[in-house]
């Protein structure tokens, strides 16, 4: 796989999972509303995917000796992967009770993150369990913190 595709895909998948799960957990703990969580997922799938794609675009442009094709491949692959992974979280929310959908989404998201982490570790000849644990701990911390942010918002403004 070309480096520009790897860059966009790995960034998009990771950001799509962590950002969307953080948003879902925070909105769930503050509102408990399926409509609010669905709206958040759809909004973040569009807005954050475009924002992250632009961020990758500018970041890649700032590197020396990078072709325009490389920059645009990384940009498009970031947008597509972030959008697809973020929007995929609507399915459990539509199909199940919201509390179950959140649990299923966390399991789904952390599983995908584990698979990507395993792949990264193997390609870099590192011990997979170390990379997987590192990435999962960060993901869980994000969800833990956004849960408390949601509860704080509910307490102050709810």
Percent of the chain at pLDDT exceeding 70: 99
pLDDT tens, residue by residue, 28-76: 999 999 999 999 999 999 999 999 999 999 999 999 888 999 899 999 9
Q: What is the mean pLDDT of residues 128-156?
A: 97
Looking at residue 1, its pLDDT comes to: 61
Looking at residue 158, its pLDDT comes to: 84
Looking at residue 79, its pLDDT comes to: 96
79: Cβ–Cβ under 8 A, 6 or more apart, which residues? 8, 12, 49, 50, 52, 53
102: Cβ–Cβ under 8 A, 6 or more apart, which residues? 24, 25, 28, 37
Global pTM reads 0.93
pLDDT tens, residue by residue, 135-145: 999 999 999 99
The upper half-sphere exposure of residue 150, i.e. CA atoms within 13 Å in the direction of its Cβ, equals 21
Instruction: Write the DSSP string, 27-73.
Output: HHHHH--HHHHHHHHHHHHHHHHHHHHHHHHHHHHHSTT--HHHHHH
CB 19 within 8 A of CB 87: no
**Domain residue spans of the chain:** 3-157
Looking at residue 4, its pLDDT comes to: 84
3-7, 21-25, 45-49: lowest mean pLDDT where? Answer: 3-7
Average model confidence (pLDDT) across the chain:
95
């Amino acid at each position: 796989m070309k480096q520009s595709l790897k860059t966009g895909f790995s960034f998009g998948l990771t950001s799509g999972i962590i950002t969307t799960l953080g948003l879902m957990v925070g909105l769930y703990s503050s509102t408990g509303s399926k409509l609010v969580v669905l709206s958040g997922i759809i909004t973040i799938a569009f807005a954050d995917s475009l924002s992250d794609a632009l961020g990758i675009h500018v970041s890649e442009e700032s590197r020396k000796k990078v072709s325009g094709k490389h920059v645009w491949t990384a940009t498009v692959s970031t947008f597509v992967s972030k959008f697809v992974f973020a929007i995929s979280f609507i399915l459990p929310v539509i199909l199940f009770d919201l509390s179950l959908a959140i649990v299923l989404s966390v399991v789904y998201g952390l599983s995908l993150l584990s698979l990507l982490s395993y792949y990264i570790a193997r390609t870099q000849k590192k011990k997979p369990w170390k990379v997987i644990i590192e990435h999962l701990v960060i993901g869980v911390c994000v969800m833990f913190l956004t849960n408390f942010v949601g509860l704080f918002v509910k307490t102050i403004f709810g």
